[in-house]
Amino acid sequence: MPRIALIEDLTSEPIEPGSQLVVEYDPASQWYNASLTIAAEWLKTGGTVRYCTFTQPCDVIRSKFIRFGLDVKEMEKSGSLMIYDLYSATLGKKSNEKAGVDSLKAADWERSIPSAGDA
């Protein structure tokens, strides 16, 4: 089983397949860059990533993954990468993304964000 870059160095046991990692961080911290690195390295091993963005437009996230050498268009098409647009809602705007929300209310997300099986 592939290791998760940076994260498994901090855990006492390997992360089980199907696990979800949620990291809350200050926007000025280095966790933003670390989260992109972790996600990119996981995608390179054939893993699946659902990346939620509150602080950057989805196209910025895509461009950062492209800099890691990822074929973002193909990964989104195959479903191995899905970028959830929560950023537009923080601006009070409707998302144009396949996986976007119109509200920051968690109760509204279920009908707004496709599940992994719908990707």
Q: pTM of the entire structure?
A: 0.76
C-alpha distance from residue 95 to each of 35, 88, 91, 104, 114 (Å): 22, 6, 10, 12, 13
Judge whether 36 lies within some domain: no
Distance CA 62, CA 24 (A): 20
pLDDT of residue 114: 61
Judge whether 4 lies within some domain: no
Judge whether 58 lies within some domain: yes
pLDDT of residue 16: 77
pLDDT of residue 65: 97
pLDDT of residue 87: 92
Judge whether 20 lies within some domain: no
Judge whether 55 lies within some domain: yes
Read off φ and ψ for residue 15, nearest 5 degrees. -80, 130
pLDDT of residue 115: 58
Q: Which domain holds residue 63?
A: 49-118
pLDDT of residue 119: 47
Question: Residues in the chain with pLDDT < 50?
Answer: 119
pLDDT of residue 110: 66
Nearest alpha carbon to residue 72 among 51, 53, 56: 51
Judge whether 56 lies within some domain: yes
- Please state the domain count of the chain: 1
Q: Residue 20, by phi and psi: left (phi above 0), alpha (psi -120 to 50) or beta?
A: beta
Judge whether 38 lies within some domain: no
Judge whether 30 lies within some domain: no
